[in-house]
Amino acid sequence: MTESRKHARLRGVATPLDFRQMLRGAALRVTRPRLAVLSAVHTHPHADTDSIISAVRRDLPKVSGQAVYDSLHTLTAAGLVRRIQPSGSVARYESRVGDNHHHVVCRSCGSIADVDCAVGTTPCLTASEDHGFAIDEAEVIFWGLCPNCSRERSS
């Protein structure tokens, strides 16, 4: 492992080699659009599709929007990317997968941040009736004002 890759791993930053390994580990072909989309989602958490297309086009100027949409769909289906869509918002994508975390959304500007699951007694995360479903995830979205919008409102 190169020294720069070791430093990137220590900082929690995925490298192009990591993206290649992620695709191969999910039994997906390694393509330039998929690599660019994975990089964009990792670099821009909670980005919408248009933002991801713009980020991908910085690396691959001629990539089609459809190639980005297809890559997002494939990566989401493979569990390498998570799609979220808070009420009233367009779909957004994040690289934090494999855990059941939640989100806090600003009612004013729409910014989104991750929130770890609450620990302890949390009756709202247990369905009162499962209706025969095998429940494997609970989605909770907290709404409010981000620090910047709160400051703007109070001034």
Q: Is the pLDDT of residue 92 over 90?
A: yes
Any idea how long the chain is? 155
Residues spanned by CATH 1.10.10.10 within the chain? 3-84
pLDDT of residue 145: 94
Q: Is the pLDDT of residue 3 over 60?
A: no
Helices 32-43 and 65-77: angle between axes, nearest 10 degrees = 70
Q: Which residues contact 46 (CB under 8 A, 6 or more apart)?
A: 84, 92, 93, 94, 103, 112, 113
Pairwise CA distance, residues 73 & 6, whole Å:
30
Q: Is the pLDDT of residue 87 over 90?
A: no
pLDDT by residue (tens digit) across 21-50? Answer: 999 999 999 999 999 999 999 999 999 999
Residue that is written with structure tokens 């670099």 in the block:
43
Residues spanned by CATH 3.30.1490.190 within the chain? 99-154
Q: What secondary structure letter does DSSP report for 98?
A: S
Over residues 116-142, mean pLDDT: 75
Amino acid at 137: E
CATH number for the segment(s) 99-154: 3.30.1490.190
Q: Is the pLDDT of residue 19 over 90?
A: yes
Residue that is written with structure tokens 């998570």 in the block:
82
Q: What secondary structure letter does DSSP report for 64?
A: -
Mean pLDDT rounded to a whole number for the chain: 87
Band of pLDDT at residue 8, cut at 50, 70 and 90: very low
Over residues 7-29, mean pLDDT: 80
Report the DSSP beta bridge partners of residue 92.
48, 84
Q: Is the pLDDT of residue 102 over 90?
A: no
- Contact between 97 and 79 (Cβ < 8 Å): yes
Q: Which of 58-62, 106-110, 128-132 has the lowest mean pLDDT?
A: 128-132
Cα three-residue angle 43-113-40, rounded to 5 degrees: 15
Pick the CATH number of 3-84 from 3.40.50.300, 1.10.10.10, 3.20.20.370, 1.10.3720.10: 1.10.10.10
